[in-house]
Amino acid sequence: MSERRSESVSGTAVIQANALVKRYGTLVAADQVSLEVQRGEVFGMLGPNGAGKTTTLEMLEGMRVPDSGEATVLGVSIRRDSRAIKERIGVQLQASALPLRMTVREVVELFGSFYSTPQPTDAILEEFDLVEKAQVYSETLSGGQQQRLSIALALVNDPELVFLDEPTTGLDPQARLNIWDVIEGLRTHGKTVMLTTHYMEEAERLCDRVAIMDHGRIVAIDTPAALVAAHAPGTSIEFTASGADLSKLRALAGVSSAEHDGNRVVLHTDNAEDTLAALFGDSERWGGADGGHVADLRVRQGTLEDVFIALTGRTLRE
């Protein structure tokens, strides 16, 4: 965890979930989910479609009643007083059906009217760069603008805790970066954020800690760096080379394994410098008749996607 992120986390749990279970017929969407989210942190839930991320959020938001298990949000039981929780949280759903033929300003004012102490509409529009779109119908906004509006609506009540369900899915890279800035701004303002995502780079950029889910279960929780260190240490060296002999490449200094990925060679190493020196210093030995000509070489550190594959055997963006 970076120094900036460490300073933002107070060590007080605002979410405490213990053995939450939610079934839909024979499908167990959430299976014994237990976790804590600390005040001031950005906590991510990472996993493929159907992993149980959205179901877990909906139980914590008071939108679905768990079949078993218990949780408190901001110190309040989700079973006993979900209404009190909803007054203090903000929720951005995967998809929002806003009323048609209402301007952006009218939508913000409508959502503000649902709460006893809403933030001023002008302040919301200014914070989310929607002033120029205030008199435009919300359905005419671009994808990135609609996502900003969706997050703005989640903040009209100045919540202590914000839930964001896949806030950047379907956005182009520029719009995604803009939403990342918005989420980092929430941390700067002292908000606690719990988000779901398919994107490992999003989790690495934004999250203090992440929970990796698969088939309804949490398979690991920690900081991105700690997860990589535990489950995807070392470095991979990728390149194309005709006539490469994998058995000889595995014998190079520092190499723990070697494999083909299509027409590319992938070496996993615990010492990239020694492996690169051996790769270029002894290419005639491992390169066969063509002498081991290396092209398009890339050196890559372990990522959360590597962690997910190591833990579940599945690709992250499935």
Taking the whole predicted model, whether its pTM rises above 0.85 is answered as no
For residue 11, the model assigns a pLDDT of 63
Average of per-residue pLDDT values in the chain: 89
Phi, psi of 52 (to 5 degrees): 110, 5
Q: Which residues, including other chains, have CB under 8 Å from residue 259's CB and lie 6 or more apart?
A: 246, 265, 266
The pair of three-digit structure tokens given for residue 128, joined into one six-digit string: 């989310």
316 pLDDT more than 70 = no
* Domains of the chain from N-terminus onward: 3-230 (3.40.50.300), 234-301 (3.30.70)
Question: Residues 71, 18: contact at Cβ < 8 Å?
Answer: yes
The number of angstroms, rounded, from the C-alpha of 296 to the middle of its chain's C-alpha atoms is: 30
Query: Which of helix, strand or coil describes residue 80?
Result: coil
1 pLDDT more than 90 = no
Amino acid at 163: F
Please give the average per-residue pLDDT across 281-305, as a whole number: 77
What is the DSSP secondary-structure string of 86-134?
Answer: HHHEEEE-SS--PPTT-BHHHHHHHHHTTSSSPPPHHHHHHHTT-GGGT
Query: Which of helix, strand or coil describes residue 52?
Result: coil
pLDDT digits (tens, 9 = 90+) for 54-70: 999 999 999 999 999 99
Query: Which of helix, strand or coil describes residue 300?
Result: strand
Helix (H) or strand (E) holding 147: helix 143-154
pLDDT band at 2 (very low <50, low <70, confident <90, very high): very low
Nearest Cα neighbor of 29 from 2, 78, 64 is 64
Min mean pLDDT across 83-92, 107-116, 240-249, 271-280 is at 240-249
| Rounded Cα distance, 12 and 150, in Å | 28
309 pLDDT more than 90 = no
pLDDT digits (tens, 9 = 90+) for 132-163: 999 999 999 998 899 999 999 999 999 999 99
